[in-house]
Amino acid sequence: MTTTTSNRESQEALGNNPQALVAETVARAKAAMAAYENHDQERVDDAVRALAWSIYKPEHARMLAELAVADTGLGDVESKIIKNTRKTFGTLRDLLRAKTVGVISEDPKRGLVKYGKPVGVVGAVCPSTNPAATPVNKAMMALKGGNAVIIAPSPAGAETTRKTVELMRAELKKAGHPEDLVQVLPPPVSKVMTEEMIRQVDLAVVTGSQDNVRRAMQSGTVTVGVGAGNVPVIIDSTADLDDAAEKICASKIFDNSTSCSSENALVILDDVYENAIAALERAGGWRCDRTECENVITTLWTGGKLNRSIIAKDAAILAEAMNLREGAKGAKFFMVEQDTVGGKHTLADEKLSLVLTIYRAKDFDEAKKTVAAILNVTGKGHSVGIHTKDDARARELAQATDVVRVLVNQAHTFGNGGGFNNALPFTLSMAGGTWAGNTLSDNLNYNCFINITHLVTTIPEDKPSEEALFGAYWQRYGK
């Protein structure tokens, strides 16, 4: 039975009652978990491989990428193919290296044995920007922990997500695993149905709008939410300007800036400002004049919201819509220079488009302040970057900035969610710590999907003397 047929029969039987429909879906998930060989790491890893192959398979990766662009109107096909395959491959690498069920670690000297156990039924809320890659990514992590997962698609990407779930279920069946380990909420997609799912599952994992994250956090269900992106990047005086420009361009234009990790602003030090702009122009950037800057602002936001008809669209479409000069139609992205950091719905805000805001800073201290001001508008906790040859500058930025990730000399879109040349876990969901109202200060990873039982045995007493613990304090202040 396909997931579509199963959902249709459920709706007919339960009369479109959201509470009953979700309860029936959760019951099937629990039954699947009972049949899942989730005590056996080898079988669990087999199921994870099945999910990965469902989207990594070349014809599936392309078909889902094409469907996603047609379904949502966001991004471009070739980028989504890369996202479907690269993220899946990297996540599979990470997951296959980890123990998550049964004994996951032993420390005889400390008398500790740790056992990994499922968290239960996971509810995964997924965004329209990644309607195929994110559901597979979350499902892989959920099943790695021995759990079942129910996917709540975005209305804009629902058709793609349903097809993705259908492919995952088919691979699970082929490998001898219960298909209902992965399900999708029955149509039609609605906030009511999604919120009901969040209330009934054991763990909610929410990627997408911050409104969805807040609602989930207030639901009473244990929730892992992620923060908004709005990445500012410093170009330091010591940077390799052409290398920085090429990386920034590659990251900015990937999937037409649908990624929350895409660079949204550059803060360039004064002594290299014009040279850096020239390097960005060589990489494909278009430097907007003052009139064009105004056109960009009025076109990007309408009625206090991002203009959905132009976000994540090709450069030529943006150039036309924003009434830029003729030469702009051949550019890859558009640079708008600002003297100060504005507030919400200004060029300091997240743009989800091929528009890059540029600020000039007189020195590194001012650059750090500008970065902080941008993050206070949107994106606090998420990420910043720096292009520099001075490691001390990178460390200074990390020390001073309230973010989870500081990327050095990297293209953010290809590094923030894990890379083959950095140590961050591969993911499509990046939390921002308490700065962003999140419980997680890391990339979403398999650890979020397991409970741990600690077996504790006695060890030789480890009790220091009072002098060892209080001696220095006594010397300074007396007893």
Residues noted as catalytic = 260
CB 12 within 8 A of CB 186: no
Ramachandran angles phi, psi of 14, nearest 5°: -105, 5
The candidate with the shortest Cα–Cα distance to 321, out of 331, 336, 311, 330, is 311
Adjacent-strand bridge partners of 471: none
Question: How far from chain centre, in Å, is Cα 254?
Answer: 15
Helix axes 18-35, 3-14, angle to 10 degrees: 140
Ramachandran angles phi, psi of 418, nearest 5°: 95, 140
The candidate with the shortest Cα–Cα distance to 117, out of 199, 182, 41, 26, is 41
Q: CB within 8 A of 223, min separation 6: which ones?
A: 198, 203, 204, 205, 206, 213, 216, 217, 439
CB 166 within 8 A of CB 4: yes
- Distances in Å between the alpha carbon of 228 and those of 206, 212, 428, 436? 12, 12, 13, 8
CB 233 within 8 A of CB 387: yes
Q: CB within 8 A of 477, min separation 6: which ones?
A: none
Rounded Cα gap, residues 216 and 395, in angstroms: 35
